[in-house]
């Protein structure tokens, strides 16, 4: 191919900005479509190939094949045409990297991560098959992964119909495709290739994701084709010994030489993989936004020019002193124990991303803040963790209680059902009806404690958890006591009293070492401490503790699963904040989304997702998450504060002022909201008002160094 270079030129309505990549028959550029004022990717056939009618026909065939497939995981095609003798395809612009680049840069993936990617691409592939289209060139370089973990299947240049129709682009006996990924029947040039051909290629992709190598080794492309006809694939456990045998069986079945022996669909293959690995249903990544005029493409930086002289620096929050824990005295576990206020969370320094060994489980961690500024609310909103990777179980009552009469049993069953369905107010009322008759009923007390935690009402959550622990102790119910102690630790830690929470979580784990929620909350506490100390080794320990939550698979109710997903997402958020790992970002978002999928009506879950998106500078999506939280509860000061910080970082200062003011109205002692308001007013050149807001923040928290710095900057 000639060195076609159109950068800086205009092709019709397309202003060519930069080159994204080039392959055997085309160059892909990033461009701005002037009439619609949007960023696109434009694929251009070089001039020397326009004389080959077969290339031109295949190029147009790619556009037609993709354009007829409307699916969220298939790269959208906007238009196809010819300008000044150059044939082009205009497509959605995606900020990310190919799956091939991901494996080359990150090494072998965890089974869970591989399954998440394949579930998306497999769904797209099954859709194409249902529409009568066979891709015939499935490989990692034809799969795009956005920075948020959203996958796109691309390049339908070799696609053909299930009836064998390819518009005359290939003939029987012609071998088309990429040798490393071709099925045996495709390697023979058979005309009868069908969906099993793509399933085979997807199996090779899975093999590569898990091992960072191929199932066949050969020196030449022809030898590679011959190998799959004459040899058995190298078992993946020969390359990566930590893979479960059942996972290897899934890979080997997908690579069966006979098409009928493979999985019937990609969905069946991914489902078998998840069952083999015991990792449950797939969390959903978030689709990226389409860049338009005035909005940067995903992953790019939006530069906001403030109207102030001093540079904008995202506020950092000082680490509050830890209070000594007085020990597991009865005073700590008595119902009605008063909770302290809500001190700000620790500051979050960043460190380089640790490198993972090939085959190691990637660290999955996300932080809940909008840069360091948003960290402010982390502890106050955090609360619950997330269980990643266990299949849903039939929900039962939260905890088995002592025998009760049929009327109470019916009330408990109704409460449990409403809790599972997300009707937590109704569930709370039903549990209270049980407690009116039976005050020490541990099943009802468990339901109340879970709901208080879900509501992020940490003082009530602490009280109800204490009550559950005391009632459980009186009837020697270790499981209920462990749950109560875990929720107690979460409530205490979420109020900024991390040291005081250490003993309850230790007791919870000693009573029930298989309680995933307890492991997740423990990892949450460890991650906060590691983050405040800039301690990557400590963060690794926190992630290993989160792994225990994944590995210990007790039968848990769906509400507890949701809390566990959410909490692990928070632990993973801390790792993202520390390491800036894209894997951590993707995993954390997936965990929050899974929690939301299980309990969609909890403002806490949407709010914490918003803070994570803020920390990733994805302010548009963050505002959408905060708005969902506010739609559920407009009195949620944490969501108003998070929304305000997102607006500040986007340069929308008048709107940010309104949101900070609303947060302060709801929580007058909210030091971070006062600080954010001060920063916003400073940007609006209202220095006297800004000075007053900074002063108030410092009064509420004398250790708030950013507020002090701001006062020094503008003068007292």
pLDDT at 191 over 80: no
Phi, psi of 442 (to 5 degrees): -70, -30
> What pLDDT, on a 0 to 100 scale, did the predictor assign at position 71?
84
pLDDT at 346 over 80: no
pLDDT in tens, 87-102: 888 888 888 899 999 9
**pLDDT level of residue 348 (50, 70, 90 thresholds):** very low
Q: What is the mean pLDDT of residues 177-206?
A: 87
| C-alpha to C-alpha distance for 413 and 471, rounded to whole angstroms | 20
Secondary structure (3-state) at 81 = strand
pLDDT at 510 over 50: yes
| C-alpha to C-alpha distance for 621 and 286, rounded to whole angstroms | 9
Domains and CATH numbers, the chain: 10-92 (3.30.200.20), 96-277 (1.10.510.10), 371-592 (1.25.40.10)
Q: Which residues carry out catalysis?
A: 137
pLDDT at 122 over 60: yes
Region of poorest pLDDT, from 617-626, 667-676, 701-710:
701-710
Q: What is the mean pLDDT of residues 359-370?
A: 29
pLDDT at 40 over 90: yes
3-state secondary structure 218-236: CCCHHHHHHHHHHCCCCCH
> What pLDDT, on a 0 to 100 scale, did the predictor assign at position 555?
58
> What pLDDT, on a 0 to 100 scale, did the predictor assign at position 61?
62
Dihedral angle, C-alpha 512, 514, 517, 522, nearest 10 °: 80
**pLDDT level of residue 171 (50, 70, 90 thresholds):** very low
Q: What is the mean pLDDT of residues 42-58?
A: 73
pLDDT at 136 over 80: yes
Region of poorest pLDDT, from 331-345, 521-535, 672-686:
331-345
**pLDDT level of residue 379 (50, 70, 90 thresholds):** very low
Model-level pTM?
0.49
Contact status, residue 353 vs residue 581, Cβ threshold 8 Å? yes
**pLDDT level of residue 630 (50, 70, 90 thresholds):** very high
pLDDT in tens, 388-400: 333 333 334 444 4
Nearest partner of 251 among 267, 239, 262, 264, judged by Cα: 262
| C-alpha to C-alpha distance for 457 and 699, rounded to whole angstroms | 24
Give the residue, 262 or 334, on which the prediction is more confident. 262
pLDDT at 21 over 90: no
pLDDT at 47 over 80: no
Give the residue, 47 or 656, on which the prediction is more confident. 656
Torsional sign, CA 113, 114, 118, 119 = negative
| C-alpha to C-alpha distance for 511 and 693, rounded to whole angstroms | 47
């Amino acid at each position: 191919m000639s060195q076609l270079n159109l950068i800086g030129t205009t092709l019709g309505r397309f202003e060519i900005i930069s080159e994204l990549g080039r392959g055997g028959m085309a160059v892909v550029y990033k461009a701005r479509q002037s009439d619609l004022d949007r960023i696109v990717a434009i694929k251009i056939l070089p001039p020397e190939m326009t004389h080959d009618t077969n290339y031109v026909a295949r190029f147009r065939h790619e556009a037609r094949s993709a354009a007829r497939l409307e699916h969220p995981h298939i790269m959208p095609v906007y238009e196809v045409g010819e300008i000044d003798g150059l044939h082009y395809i205009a497509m959605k612009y995606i900020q990310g990297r190919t799956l091939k680049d991901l494996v080359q840069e990150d090494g072998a993936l965890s089974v869970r991560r591989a399954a998440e990617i394949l579930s998306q691409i497999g769904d797209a592939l099954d859709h194409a098959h249902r529409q009568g289209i066979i891709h015939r060139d499935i490989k990692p370089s034809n799969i795009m992964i956005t920075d948020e973990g959203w996958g796109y299947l691309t390049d339908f240049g070799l696609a053909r119909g299930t009836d064998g129709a390819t518009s005359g682009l290939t003939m029987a006996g012609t071998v088309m495709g990429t040798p490393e990924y071709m099925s045996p029947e495709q390697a023979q040039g058979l005309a009868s290739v069908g969906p099993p051909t793509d399933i085979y290629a997807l199996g090779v992709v899975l093999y590569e994701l898990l091992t960072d190598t191929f199932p066949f080794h050969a020196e030449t492309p022809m030898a590679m084709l011959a190998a799959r006809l004459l040899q058995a694939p190298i078992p993946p456990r020969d390359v990566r010994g930590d893979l479960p045998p059942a996972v290897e069986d899934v890979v080997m079945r997908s690579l069966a030489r006979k098409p009928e022996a493979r999985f019937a669909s990609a969905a069946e293959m991914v489902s078998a993989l998840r069952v083999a690995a015991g990792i449950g249903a797939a969390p959903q990544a978030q689709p990226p936004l389409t860049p338009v005029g005035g909005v940067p493409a995903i992953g790019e930086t939006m530069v906001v020019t403030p109207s102030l002289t001093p540079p904008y620096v995202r506020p950092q929050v000082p680490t509050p002193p830890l209070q000594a824990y007085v020990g597991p005295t009865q005073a700590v576990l008595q119902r009605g124990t008063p909770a302290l206020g809500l001190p700000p969370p620790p500051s979050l320094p960043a460190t380089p991303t640790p490198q993972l060994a090939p085959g190691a489980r990637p660290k999955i961690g996300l932080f809940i803040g909008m840069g360091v500024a948003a960290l402010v609310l982390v502890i106050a909103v955090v609360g619950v963790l997330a269980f990643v990777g266990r299949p849903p179980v039939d929900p039962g009552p939260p905890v088995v209680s002592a025998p009760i009469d049929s009327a109470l049993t019916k009330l408990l069953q109704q409460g449990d059902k409403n809790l599972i369905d997300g009707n937590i107010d109704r569930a709370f009322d039903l549990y209270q009806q049980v407690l009116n008759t039976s005050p020490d009923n541990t099943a009802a007390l468990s339901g109340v404690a879970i709901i208080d935690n879900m509501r992020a009402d940490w003082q009530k959550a602490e009280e109800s958890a204490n009550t559950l622990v005391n009632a459980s102790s009186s009837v020697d119910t270790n499981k209920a006591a462990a749950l109560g102690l875990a929720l107690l630790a979460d409530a205490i830690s979420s109020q900024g009293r991390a040291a005081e929470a250490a003993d309850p979580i230790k007791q919870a784990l000693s009573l029930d070492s298989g309680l995933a929620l307890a492991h997740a909350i423990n990892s949450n506490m460890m991650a906060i401490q590691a983050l405040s100390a800039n301690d990557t080794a400590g963060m690794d320990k926190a992630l290993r503790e989160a792994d225990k939550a994944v590995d210990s698979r007790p039968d848990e109710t769906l509400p507890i699963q949701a809390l566990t997903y959410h909490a692990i997402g928070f632990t993973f958020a801390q790792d993202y904040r520390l390491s800036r790992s894209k894997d951590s970002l993707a995993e954390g978002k997936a965990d929050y989304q899974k929690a939301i999928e299980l309990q969609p009506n909890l403002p806490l879950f949407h709010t914490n997702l918003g803070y994570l998106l803020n920390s990733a500078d994805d302010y548009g999506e963050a505002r959408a998450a905060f708005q969902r939280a506010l739609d559920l509860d407009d009195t949620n000061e944490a969501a108003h504060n998070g929304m305000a910080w997102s607006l500040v970082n986007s340069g929308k200062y008048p709107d940010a002022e309104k949101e900070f003011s609303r947060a302060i109205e709801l929580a007058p002692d909210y030091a971070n909201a006062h600080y954010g308001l001060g920063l916003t007013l400073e940007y609006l050149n209202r220095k006297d008002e800004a000075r007053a807001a900074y002063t108030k923040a410092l009064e509420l928290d004398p250790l708030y160094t950013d507020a002090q710095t701001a006062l020094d900057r503008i003068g007292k």
